[in-house]
Chain A
Amino acid sequence: MKKKAISILVCIVMVSSLFVGCGKNNSTDNKDADPTKGAASTATDATAAPKKIKEFTAFFDRQGIELNNDNEIKQIIAEKIGAECKETWLTGQTAEEAVGMLIASGEYPDFINWTPQLQDAGAVVAIDEYLDKYPNIKNFWSESQWNTLKQEDGHIYSIPQFGNINEKLMDTTQGGEAFWVQTRVLKWANYPKVESLDQLFTLLEDYYKANPTMSDGSAVIPFEVLCYDWYYFCLENPPQFLDGYPNNGRCIVDPLTFKVSDYNVTDTAQRYFKKLNEEYKKGIIDPEFMTMNHDQFLEKISSGRVLCMVEQKWDFQTAEDAIKTQKLEGCTYVPLGITIDPGMKSMYYAANEPAVLSGGLAITTSCKDIEGALQFINDLLSPEIITLRSWGVEGVDYLVGDDGLFYREQAMRDNAVSSEYKASHLSSYSYFPNFSGMNPDGKNAMTPETQPSEFFEGLTPEVQECLTAYDAKTYVDLLDYNVIDGYEQPWYPMWSFVGEMTTETPGGLAWTKMEETKKQYLPQVVIADSFDSSWSDYLAAYNKVKPEDFFAEIQEAVYDRIELVQGKRPTE
């Protein structure tokens, strides 16, 4: 009898456990709490009773820091506007996988980053009918810009969050790409004018001959190239800049003829890689560049040994911080706008507000309070909240001078880079729409990093000296200043289009294969004994994957964007 009882018990446990629904430990705190309840109570009570704060959820298919639930500034903002949002980020999956699973499950957070797949799946809500009610949102972009966001059915589904320049750009640092060189190299040569590729390498060679080691005996690395995984842009995209074109990401677009061309196979590209090949043979380029991973790259930069590299600032910012803490003299970097020949205009830095927008923040069909959500975005764009998001709390995160300019003390600056502080105190709602450039008050910059006075405080003496020698006040002054008019060049930047391509189209498939081919062959081209034969091998493999399909698709997209903004399509 006992054994029968046990076997029956086992069966019951097995079967019943299959049907346990939300019974067990599923208590409390569903963050998708019904917001309509909140809406009702906020509407009725203007008296002493505490406001019910609406809670929204958001998921962004990027990496990000998860904030604590009791994050201080988040609560301050919530008090002021009556709503808050729990943001979740990508963890352990690729963006496509995460979004695919959401679509498959049919359940979404309230806010999400727009992707073509979500649009296709009918997961996002049209917002154009509501825009008039929310002036902050409506005025965020211009009429023609909103126009470019219309989907096939004529409705608008997303609000792009970035790239909106308020008044003027206050950029002090070159956030984008450049040839970064250590100040000590320039100082040693008495701050010469370095414009062309050849001039740069000659300078590096000379400096290296005179100073082959660091003070602790370790060898200097004159030129570094990072090509690990998706960072391989450091290796492959200089040719477009060297020819004086701006960062369209994947191609060159002639502003006069609107024709698309391939920077991978231009003469400049060949000259550039041939130069790298020569320099590699001379020992100027790090012999490990093609096999190192990102951590090893940061190690080398942090040690202060690398004289020069092509990079984007955000990628080595932490390494530069490490250099500063070690107090290595002259080892921080300034940008140079190198072109293939001297005397050319470079477009590394281009101030631009794109004319054609895509993607952005979207509200999903799972959101039960669309108007509340829009109100939330709207309120986040009010001047007071913007300052709270970007600067923090006055008196705690920044102080106001008599001239109305914001400034920070050292303790505040240290806090701003501590991850614990960020999680518990700062809340920028970074993937919600926000301005760049100036703060709405018209005096200060949007962020502490772009505030000129703050910027100067952060400069090391060697950089100050270097900038002064070149008659510059900011890093950006060292580069040619360009403005790209959104109307004149409506296709810019093309990388926003390429980012949405998938292998479904022949162009997208070609693009994926082109990337694989470039990753495989370009390092080999640089280290090859015989450059010419290696280069032709590369071209052969490259042409085999049908790049013409890719560029045909891009060309069409360029024409599409022109038509969208200027109203007419260019004829061949």
Chain B
Amino acid sequence: MAGMKHIKTERVKDVKVKITWKEIVKQRELIILSIPFVAYVLLFSYAPLIGWVMAFQKYKPKDGFFGSKFIGLDKFKFLFIDNPDFIRVIRNTLAMGVINLVLGFVFAIAFALILNEVVHKGPKKFVQTVSYLPHFLSMIIVCGILKNALSIDHGIINEILVNVHILKEPINFFTYKSLFWWIVGFGGTVWKETGWNSIIYLAAITAINPDLYEAAGIDGAGRLRKMWNITLPSIKPTIFILLLINVGGVLNSGFEIQYLLTNGLVQSVSQTIDIYVLKFGISQNDFSLGTAAGIFKSLVSVILIFLANSAAKSAGEERLF
């Protein structure tokens, strides 16, 4: 098993280079190359942030950013103080975000690892092609299928469960608040996105040096051990980067699937921030509310990103910045 230990992938060694004029001149090529990109990002991503001023105004499209009445933190007050519902909505969004995150990762990585084990190219290509197809189905179609599969009225899941005697009679899955988040997770993320999410990992796996496997084989490693000790650690950087990116996006756990699957009974657990904003903001021509919620989400995301990034840094792993 000695060969295993060599799988420490070369990690970002923190190269501390002092910023001096000499160094700048030396790296001028890199600097010149990066200038257009920085300018681009400043223009297209940061300039629109002027719009954040809408959150502090009673924004009316005709008055624009500078003519609308200033109302300070009223919108934020509306969200957080006047309406206890919003806290519950944040909880829903966060819960579904975390569940989707974990499920998404576990299944995508597991699928990539398992698929990688298949030797014959034919079946492998076939399975991979099939796996990413659900990604292209619109959420409307996916929810339609989900609803039918879970229906109490001859839905296939109920039929199976009753036949193998796990259930005595069909149950209406959508009436249970406790199940809703998991239906969203498994239906929306695992079923729909596993194949698509695994593409990155499969690409990363191709970069692994074949000699490592040979060496391990000579040491007597079985396939399972090879997967666990070589393949998995080798894609760790990819995993970490994606994890970091997704942690920041945890409050964006969605809109469409929750909107399509909800009903009165599970409303209290299904409403996400985006749905709430739609109901109380956009549909009422209140763009300020939407912006205020957006600022909140951005704030949380940025905090999470910094925390996660420092954690990754201290663990010596690949990180965002």
Direct contact of A and B (CB under 8 A): yes
Residues of A within 8 A of B286 (CB): 502-504
Q: Is there an interface contact between A103 and B61, defined as CB atoms closer than 8 Å?
A: yes
Q: Is there an interface contact between B36 and A10, defined as CB atoms closer than 8 Å?
A: yes
Looking at the complex, which of A245-253, A285-293, A333-341, A556-564 is the stretch in contact with chain B? Answer: A285-293
Cα of A39 to Cα of B278 in the assembled complex, Å:
44
Given contacts A290-B264, A520-B268, contact A503 B282 (CB under 8 A): no
Q: Is there an interface contact between B265 and A291, defined as CB atoms closer than 8 Å?
A: yes
Q: Does B279 contact A (CB under 8 A)?
A: yes
Q: Does B148 contact A (CB under 8 A)?
A: yes
**In residues 459-503 of chain A, which contact B (Cβ within 8 Å)?**
502-503
Q: Is there an interface contact between A18 and B61, defined as CB atoms closer than 8 Å?
A: no
0 or 1 for each of A98-114: is its CB under 8 Å from B? (1 = yes): 01110110000000000
Q: Which of A3, A290, A291, A295 contacts B144 (CB 8 A)?
A: A295
Q: Which of B62, B175, B284 contacts A96 (CB 8 A)?
A: B284
Given contacts A15-B36, A295-B144, A512-B279, contact A104 B61 (CB under 8 A): yes
Q: Is there an interface contact between A121 and B148, defined as CB atoms closer than 8 Å?
A: no
Q: Does B9 contact A (CB under 8 A)?
A: no
Q: Which of B43, B60, B144 contacts A18 (CB 8 A)?
A: B43
Q: Which of A14, A290, A292 contacts B147 (CB 8 A)?
A: A292
B155, closest chain A residue (CB): A288
Cα of A516 to Cα of B268 in the assembled complex, Å:
10
Q: Which of B33, B144, B267 contacts A516 (CB 8 A)?
A: B267
Q: Does A296 contact B (CB under 8 A)?
A: yes
A115, closest chain B residue (CB): B285
**In residues 154-194 of chain B, which contact A (Cβ within 8 Å)?**
172, 174-175
Q: Does A265 contact B (CB under 8 A)?
A: no
Q: Is there an interface contact between B148 and A296, defined as CB atoms closer than 8 Å?
A: yes
0 or 1 for each of B219-263: is its CB under 8 Å from A? (1 = yes): 000000000000000000000000000000000000000001001
Q: Is there an interface contact between A94 and B152, defined as CB atoms closer than 8 Å?
A: no
Main secondary structure of the interface of B (DSSP, over half): helix
Q: Is there an interface contact between B36 and A291, defined as CB atoms closer than 8 Å?
A: no
Q: Does B214 contact A (CB under 8 A)?
A: no
0 or 1 for each of B59-85: is its CB under 8 Å from A? (1 = yes): 011101000000000000000000000
B266, closest chain A residue (CB): A291
Given contacts A120-B60, A523-B263, contact A503 B175 (CB under 8 A): no
B174 to chain A: closest CB distance in Å?
Answer: 4
A502, closest chain B residue (CB): B284
**In residues 19-41 of chain B, which contact A (Cβ within 8 Å)?**
29, 32-33, 35-37, 39-40
Q: Is there an interface contact between B284 and A97, defined as CB atoms closer than 8 Å?
A: no
Residues of B within 8 A of A121 (CB): 60-62
0 or 1 for each of B269-313: is its CB under 8 Å from A? (1 = yes): 000000000111011111100000000000000000000000000
Residues of A within 8 A of B279 (CB): 512, 516
Q: Does A266 contact B (CB under 8 A)?
A: no
Residues of A within 8 A of B267 (CB): 516, 519-520
B58, closest chain A residue (CB): A504
Which of B36, B153, B174, B286 has the most chain A CB atoms inside 10 A of its CB?
B153
Q: Is there an interface contact between A100 and B265, defined as CB atoms closer than 8 Å?
A: no
Cα of A121 to Cα of B64 in the assembled complex, Å:
10
Q: Is there an interface contact between B278 and A293, defined as CB atoms closer than 8 Å?
A: no
Q: Which of A10, A120, A502, A523 contacts B265 (CB 8 A)?
A: A523
**In residues 129-147 of chain B, which contact A (Cβ within 8 Å)?**
143-144, 147
Cα of A15 to Cα of B280 in the assembled complex, Å:
41
Q: Does A122 contact B (CB under 8 A)?
A: yes
Q: Is there an interface contact between A7 and B61, defined as CB atoms closer than 8 Å?
A: no
**In residues 230-246 of chain A, which contact B (Cβ within 8 Å)?**
232
A305, closest chain B residue (CB): B153
Residues of B within 8 A of A120 (CB): 60, 62
Cα of A232 to Cα of B263 in the assembled complex, Å:
10
Q: Does B128 contact A (CB under 8 A)?
A: no
0 or 1 for each of A1-23: is its CB under 8 Å from B? (1 = yes): 00100010011001100100000
Q: Does A524 contact B (CB under 8 A)?
A: yes
Residues of A within 8 A of B37 (CB): 14
B100 to chain A: closest CB distance in Å?
Answer: 21
Cα of A287 to Cα of B282 in the assembled complex, Å:
34
Given contacts A18-B43, A293-B147, A516-B279, contact A100 B287 (CB under 8 A): yes
Cα of A508 to Cα of B281 in the assembled complex, Å:
12
0 or 1 for each of A508-543: is its CB under 8 Å from B? (1 = yes): 100010001001111110000000000000000000
Cα of A296 to Cα of B33 in the assembled complex, Å:
56
Cα of A524 to Cα of B265 in the assembled complex, Å:
7
Residues of B within 8 A of A227 (CB): 263-264
Cα of A508 to Cα of B264 in the assembled complex, Å:
21
Q: Does A117 contact B (CB under 8 A)?
A: yes
Q: Is there an interface contact between A523 and B264, defined as CB atoms closer than 8 Å?
A: yes
**In residues 132-168 of chain A, which contact B (Cβ within 8 Å)?**
none
Q: Is there an interface contact between A288 and B152, defined as CB atoms closer than 8 Å?
A: yes
Cα of A96 to Cα of B290 in the assembled complex, Å:
13
Q: Does A228 contact B (CB under 8 A)?
A: yes
Q: Is there an interface contact between A288 and B284, defined as CB atoms closer than 8 Å?
A: no
Residues of B within 8 A of A94 (CB): 278, 282-283
Q: Which of B32, B153, B264 contacts A524 (CB 8 A)?
A: B264
Q: Does B151 contact A (CB under 8 A)?
A: yes
10 further interface pairs, Cβ-Cβ under 8 Å (given A14-B37, A122-B62): A11-B36, A94-B278, A100-B61, A101-B61, A104-B64, A120-B62, A287-B172, A296-B151, A516-B279, A523-B265
24 A-B contact pairs sorted by A residue (CB < 8 Å):
A3-B29, A14-B37, A14-B39, A15-B36, A18-B40, A100-B282, A100-B287, A103-B62, A104-B64, A117-B61, A122-B62, A288-B152, A291-B174, A292-B151, A502-B284, A502-B285, A502-B286, A503-B284, A512-B279, A519-B264, A520-B265, A522-B264, A523-B263, A523-B264
